[in-house]
Amino acid sequence: MNSKNFSSEIKSCEEYIASRSFKKADISISNAIQINSESPYAWYLKSKVCLGLLDYENALSACENAIELNPKKEYVQLKGRIENFTKLDRDDLANYYSQKIDNLLVLTNSKNIEVLSQRKLNGIVYQRILDNFKDGIVYKKSDDDIFLKVKMLTENAIDLNFVENHDSSNGIVGAYGFKKAAIDSRLSKTLQIAAMIHEFAHHLLFEIFKNAVMYIYKSQNSEAIEAFGWYCITQNVYWLLMNEYCAHMVECRYVPYNNFESFNKILKINENLNISKVKKAVELGESLSRDIAYILDGFFTDKMKEEIKMQFLSDRVILKRKGCEFKSEGNLSSDEKFDMINSILRENIISIKINFSYRDLIMFKRIFEMSGVENVKTNGICNEFGRPRKI
């Protein structure tokens, strides 16, 4: 056995899994297993790769091989998750949900608080949630310019309004709230593209939290579920920072500049924050940004990325780069990420229950119920977070 080649293939597989390049990961792990089929860890990685490829039968088989060689707790837990997941309807997770919670008092009752303590996301369900988003985006290749391509992609999920921001001194680029976004039409196409990507990232983050609530409560979607999901990522300053950091990281992935102005502004407005909590928020924001990039990378081809760069040069955009002093110090594991998401949901629902602070939650529910209402201000583009994004 060539241990050097085996280790190299294992490392490559791990890197491909981290970047969600599961087809490449499958080649690496297959090579590794050919070199050493007695490695339980190799079979464990094979199981994770099969999950990424939505091949649940082989994922279970590979996991069973790993357990046979070494009944490690981590391997046994993965097998249990696969078996639980295969009981769900494979076509649509929502078909599995037997109820529809659309009452805020029911949503926040003691029984459901207990459910939050007992049930959380797992890797298999989470992957399906991401893939459902990805599969739900309808995008046809076209010869339109890059601005129209990004606009068409974004309009798959949110209502876009292009408005004139006459108060040029505030430098606001765009805003997102309640499935709607406002973009300043007076800006260059480059900055409008950046704004659309940023606001689209906010929306996808909201969808992730909403679907987490649906899964935990086994409830179909409702305005109450949406209101709670929105509440969780906007009403606490640390999770608001997570929200903004995530959107900035996604934006920077596709647009060639590094600007964290809205994140920095929240820090400036809110003094005496707990630095440890800010760092945790940044870690979660970065982890979730990679999940959102997994969804968007399938549409932002290398050609589109190059077209964005060319638009950037064409517009001669000159910005004072406003980076972020907080950087993620490491990658969260999936379990750590799911624990943090669950903690955010539980923390918010307990706070609402104890303080009987239903006013904002009720308001959010009403806004989601009122289709056609201009939930994002179009006069001066007021960010629904109360935190304007600036150039």
20-42 pLDDT tens trace: 788 899 999 999 999 999 999 99
Which domains are delineated in the chain? 3-87 (1.25.40.10), 104-369 (no CATH)
Q: Following DSSP, what letter does each residue of 286-348 receive, concatenated? A: HHHHHHHHHHHHTTS-HHHHHHHHHHHHHHT-----B--S----SPPPHHHHHHHHHHHHHHH
Give the pLDDT confidence score for residue 379 in this predicted structure.
32
Judged by average pLDDT, the poorest of 93-97, 226-230, 273-277, 285-289 is 93-97
Q: What is the pTM of this model?
A: 0.75
What does pLDDT average to over the chain? 84
Backbone angles phi and psi of 181, in degrees to 5: -140, 145
Percent of the chain with pLDDT over 90: 44
C-alpha dist (Å) from residue 295 to 72, 137, 167, 244, 391: 32, 9, 35, 18, 26
CB-based contact 241:281 (threshold 8 Å): yes
Question: CA torsion 45→49→52→58, rounded to 10°?
Answer: -100
Residue 372, helix vs strand vs coil:
coil
Q: Quick one: average pLDDT of 79-94?
A: 62
pLDDT digits (tens, 9 = 90+) for 305-334: 899 888 888 887 665 556 677 776 667 888
SS3 85: helix
Residue 335 has pLDDT above 70, yes or no: yes
Residue 228 pLDDT level (bands cut at 50, 70, 90): very high
Nearest-Å Rg of the Cα atoms of the chain is 22
